[in-house]
Amino acid sequence: MGNGEKMEDKQFELIEEPELFKNARNPQGELGDELLDWMAKNHENLAKWGVSHLNVTEDDFILDIGCGGGVNVERFLKMSCAKVCGLDYSALAVKRSVQLNQKAIDEGRCEILQGSVSDLPYEDNSFDIVTAFETIYFWPDIADDLKEVSRVLDDDGIFFICNEAVPKKDDERQRELIELLDMNIYSGDELEEYLRQAGFSDVLCILKEGPDSVTGKIITWLCVIAQK
Ligand SMILES: C[S@@+](CC[C@H](N)C(=O)[O-])C[C@H]1O[C@@H](n2cnc3c(N)ncnc32)[C@H](O)[C@@H]1O
């Protein structure tokens, strides 16, 4: 990506920038910084749409797993949630999330940690809501990782997933993406099955298909709301 080109306009071409795009899995170095900027802008409409389905209150303790540059941590802090934690296994993502949310960290309303979803550094029943925006594709063992999410959720807690990718048969771009990023793209049905196996009860899958009202791009977005 050269000289001041606008990252946010580069949705389709990213597949031609493999070294940059690989950072979606684990942002590192200069390219990781660039991709975190790009994701902050490009995931905004998706995140806003997803969060509009989530009932968030000022009493809530929230954990955002795979928090990237911390924009969703910031979003929940602006919604006046009691405490918002962010976790990412990328040191760069943690640094960026801390920078973005420093004031709330100083006030004791926010904590950002480096760690993996597979071994969450929190006590049992710590959170009312756990969120995962654009990250479950990379989780190493979805079945066990969902059990780990359930462990840190309060007894009637909510796990929220927000993805811009659903499986598309015969989609060459998606096939290249999966190969490049070594990722798993799940359907709502697959996620529901994994969630039930991990002990979640009510599972609601919401799909948005068609042109995005803001960008006009054809999208297929999925959010999943699961109750422990
Ligand atoms: C595509 S980015 C999404 C970032 C942000 N949530 C957003 O929506 O813009 C995926 C993030 O998940 C993180 N991640 C991937 N696998 C992870 C894991 N096993 N544990 C913790 N974080 C992980 C990556 O480091 C990266 O920051």
Distances (CA, A) of 191 to 23, 53, 81, 197, 225: 24, 17, 27, 10, 10
**Which residue has the least CA distance to atom 9 on ligand 1?**
39
**Which residue has the least CA distance to atom 14 on ligand 1?**
66
pLDDT of residue 16: 76
**Which residue has the least CA distance to atom 8 on ligand 1?**
133
Q: Which two tokens stand for residue 59?
A: 């009493």
pLDDT of residue 160: 98
Long-range contacts of 18-22 (CB under 8 A, 24+ apart): 18/180, 21/180, 21/181, 22/180, 22/181
pLDDT of residue 216: 83
**Which residue has the least CA distance to atom 12 on ligand 1?**
66
Average pLDDT, the chain: 93
**At residue 96, what are phi and psi to the nearest 5 degrees?**
-65, -40
Q: Cβ < 6 Å from ligand 1: which residues? A: 24, 26-27, 39, 43, 65-68, 88-90, 93, 116-117, 133-135, 138-140
Enclosing H/E stretch for 92 = helix 91-100
Best residue among 48, 85, 138, 149 to mutate for probing ligand 1, ranked by most atoms within 8 Å of CB: 138
Ligand 1, residue 88: give the atom nearest the CA.
Answer: 22
Q: How far is the CA of 125 from the centre of ligand 1 (A)?
A: 22
**Which residue has the least CA distance to atom 23 on ligand 1?**
66
- In terms of CATH architecture, what is 7-227? 3-Layer(aba) Sandwich (3.40)
Q: Tokens 């990328």 sit at which residue?
A: 90
**Which residue has the least CA distance to atom 4 on ligand 1?**
68
Distance in angstroms (rounded) separating the CA atoms of residues 65 and 106: 21
Best residue among 7, 72, 74, 89 to mutate for probing ligand 1, ranked by most atoms within 8 Å of CB: 89
| pLDDT < 70 positions in the chain | 1-15
